A and B are shown apart, each in its own frame.
Chain A
């Protein structure tokens, strides 16, 4: 891996906080031309430093939306030569799985699973996840409420500007 240039890191820091700015604004913020910034972004995409652009949505605000999230602690048997990677791959290929991390401590993999209902998730864990040969055990925790996600506070009523309108 070649180290990134200073400009590239700056662009990443800006779009990490807001991917919706657009090239023109980012260029203005950095005092560079739009063409230059566009190229930087293409390069970062090619290098897979930028994997994609998603939007953080508070689905709790959407009444029609049904979704349950569970974090599953998974103990597995690592395979010779490939360690945990192969079994992690077997798990992350499932579309129900939103995230997989290898953990230190009491269990091996932390798996985040989304489903429409608790039943759906229960079904996925018992029929798919636990059924894998290398999976020894699972402990499932359902998410009851999200307060902060990826650095964003979900119910933040305190965001209004409390400063006086004009000050020296």
Chain B
């Protein structure tokens, strides 16, 4: 008798992450320069770490309130007000989560009914589609157009909306493209969302890392606060990925629903991480500023270098990713990434793992020291020259 699988159909049907497969190959190799890392190269600023030590010494080793320490929620509320002109009541409208990843999961589970459709804009962060499925929803992907610098348009949303559409996942600035949407570009999107009475799940984890224009938080747009769950966290701008600390802010009923799931599945975010985050909110500004400057310099460096070697790369307005076209080489994204890794030991992520419109592109993270970036660009240039006909 053949052994039957105990794994649920829902999980079995999830596609394995394309990033994972690539990681396994790269991890085995020597002398690899990785531009495949979606996290800061900076170690968490020392004062955050030290505050966490201190909290442990003081004996803060127990659970916190389900929604997170009220002091931290107050600081987050103040921060959102100061930086993005948003007003959220820390007692009822903010939840501290285990990374923005958990906030995404909670938000989807709080909102989605079986059979509801959730629009995901690709190329996108690899977790959106699977988390929609796990929440019992049906992911409906739309493709942001390369010709439009991968900017989402209101028309594209309108084409995808059906009577079953419940929500839309937004990510600005975007991982993997680095695309940044201005207030003027967001407004028509907000109008469509209101027109079809959708919930917006706005992943703004890279909001602090926008380089050329001021940032507009999605819920600050007219009519959006009542229907948006803002998702963010400490991983990127505060260099705290391993601490696993994020948060969400939104309408009281939705946040209460998220807290309900959270209290049964997680209890609370790690206490020592919450203490580090408290310090990050209170005294983190200078460190965030320094890291920002450094990312901006590296962005300029990598974008100029990529264009110089003949890979067309528009200037990404935010995050820490460049998303150049590799079409000039005649290779597919996967071929490019695999051959580059084997011949020059540079790891990049093939664009198609982020969605079909990412085919023909690669994601290069510039969260890597300038020295490494410089070396990587030299190696990549040699590779590109070997693949393109002499002009």
* A143 on interface, CB distance cutoff 8 Å: no
Contacts of B127 in A (CB 8 A): 168
Q: Beyond A167-B36, A167-B38: 20 further Cβ-contacts under 8 Å? A: A18-B370, A21-B370, A25-B370, A25-B374, A28-B300, A28-B305, A29-B297, A30-B300, A31-B304, A161-B34, A161-B41, A163-B34, A164-B37, A166-B19, A166-B23, A166-B26, A166-B27, A167-B37, A168-B17, A168-B19
Contacts of A30 in B (CB 8 A): 297, 300
**In residues 117-154 of chain B, which contact A (Cβ within 8 Å)?**
125-127
What are 11 pairs between A and B in contact, CB < 8 Å? A28-B304, A28-B305, A29-B298, A164-B23, A165-B23, A166-B19, A167-B38, A168-B38, A168-B125, A168-B126, A168-B127
- Determine if B347 and A163 form an interchain contact, defined as CB atoms under 8 angstroms apart: no
4 closest A-B pairs by beta carbon, nearest first, are: A166-B36, A29-B297, A166-B23, A31-B300
Mask, B289-318, CB within 8 Å of A = 1, is 000010001101100110000000000000
Contacts of A21 in B (CB 8 A): 370
- Closest partner residue, chain A, to B293 (CB atom): A13
- Closest partner residue, chain A, to B353 (CB atom): A168
Residues of B in contact with A (beta carbons under 8 Å apart): 17, 19, 22-23, 26-27, 32, 34, 36-39, 41, 125-127, 175, 293, 297-298, 300-301, 304-305, 347, 349, 370, 374
- Determine if B301 and A163 form an interchain contact, defined as CB atoms under 8 angstroms apart: no
* A19 on interface, CB distance cutoff 8 Å: no
- Determine if A25 and B301 form an interchain contact, defined as CB atoms under 8 angstroms apart: yes
How far apart sit A30 and B211, CA to CA, in the bound complex (Å)? 12
CB-contact partner of A166 in B22, B304, B305, under 8 A: B22
How far apart sit A165 and B35, CA to CA, in the bound complex (Å)? 8
Contacts of B34 in A (CB 8 A): 161, 163, 165-166
- Closest partner residue, chain B, to A167 (CB atom): B38
Contacts of A164 in B (CB 8 A): 23, 27, 37
Chain A binding surface SS class: loop
Tally A residues with Cβ within 8 Å of B.
Answer: 16
How far apart sit A165 and B19, CA to CA, in the bound complex (Å)? 10
- Closest partner residue, chain A, to B369 (CB atom): A161
How far apart sit A65 and B227, CA to CA, in the bound complex (Å)? 69
- Closest partner residue, chain A, to B377 (CB atom): A28
* A79 on interface, CB distance cutoff 8 Å: no
CB-CB under 8 A for A165 and B36, given A14-B297, A28-B300: yes
How far apart sit A23 and B339, CA to CA, in the bound complex (Å)? 32
How far apart sit A30 and B370, CA to CA, in the bound complex (Å)? 13
Contacts of B304 in A (CB 8 A): 28, 31
Contacts of B175 in A (CB 8 A): 168
- Closest partner residue, chain B, to A17 (CB atom): B294
Mask, A144-159, CB within 8 Å of B = 1, is 0000000000000000
